[in-house]
Amino acid sequence: MSFDLWWLAYILLGLFAGLLAGMLGIGGGAVMVPLLAMIFSAQAFPHEQVIHLALGTSMAIIIFTASSSLRAHHQHGAVLWDTLLAFTPGVLVGTALGTLIAARIPTRGLAIFFAVFIACVAVQMALNLKPKPHRELPGRAGLGAAGGVIGILSALVAIGGGSLTVPYLSWCNVPVHRAIGTSAALGLPIAFFGTLGYIWNGWDNPALPAFSLGYVYLPAVAWVMAGSVVAAPFGARLAHRLPVATLKRAFAGILVLLAAKMLHGVM
């Protein structure tokens, strides 16, 4: 396989996403999906497959970032493993259903759903809205049901679930550091099952470009990961020197612009 100049764009995307992840603890699909969609469109990939490829590829990348995050939070004792295991069956069913739904929604519909979801996340981030703890964690059935909802929505927008899981756990009186640690760990089964779903649902699609595994574009996975691994440590160091709260508000604005640009490109 010869080097393709477009792969430089994936490396730059990885550097950008890794820097944000290290600096703000956020990024993932919220950043990668709109930028991947723009790059895929510029490469003249089939219009009706652009968003599906961006979602599946983002999910595959999150497997690696979530694995690293899980190890780090486990070392700090911040993962509630019983809660994680109770979430997982619902996540399996939810992500499978979410990818099945996504495969049957046209590009325009997926783009609209993604843009609306990201706008909600951006508002929450900019205003630092947090649910007040009003209840305790439910039993295994309740956590499984919550995992199903989180799995469906995460699969439809290709995120690791942090923007959903952390508020839910905080609402259930889980201390914030454990909510973040458990949410980060839950990102791995979400990304793993979500990736399998996007591979399965795109497996027989003849319109996909070369080097695709279902709706996962392998060169993008490799080069985005390479860039993010390099940039994440620098972002983590910057987090201790820059006003993170202000940066999060600025990032919220960037998210809205990226989602709007992606939406405009596929309409």
Structure tokens at 32: 């990668």
What's the mean pLDDT when you consider all of the chain? 84
Reported as a single tens digit per residue, the pLDDT across 122-140 is 887 777 777 777 778 888 8
Distance from C-alpha of 94 to C-alpha of 254, rounded to nearest angstrom: 29
DSSP states along the chain = ----THHHHHHHHHHHHHHHHHHHS--HHHHHHHHHHHHHHHTT--GGGHHHHHHHHHHHHHHHHHHHHHHHHHHTT---HHHHHHHHHHHHHHHHHHHHHHHTS-HHHHHHHHHHHHHHHHHHHHHT--PPP-S----HHHHHHHHHHHHHHHHHHT--SHHHHHHHHHHTT--HHHHHHHHHHHHHHHHHHHHHHHHHHTTT-TTSPTTEETTEEHHHHHHHHHHHHHHHHHHHHHTTTS-HHHHHHHHHHHHHHHHHHHHHHH-
Q: What is the pLDDT of residue 1?
A: 47
Q: Specify the range with the lowest mean pLDDT, choosing from 98-112, 114-128, 224-238.
A: 224-238
Tell me what pLDDT residue 149 has.
94
% of the chain beyond a pLDDT of 70: 92
From 30-44, 178-192, 222-236, the region with the lowest mean pLDDT: 222-236
Average pLDDT (9-23) is 81
Q: Look at residue 194 and tell me whether its pLDDT is greater than 80.
A: yes
pLDDT tens for 41-84 read 999 899 899 999 999 999 998 888 777 777 777 787 878 899 99
**How many angstroms separate the CA atoms of 36 and 41, rounded?**
8
Q: Where does the pLDDT of residue 4 fall: very low under 50, low under 70, confident under 90, or very high at 90 and above? A: confident
> The tokens 């690791």 sit on which residue?
160
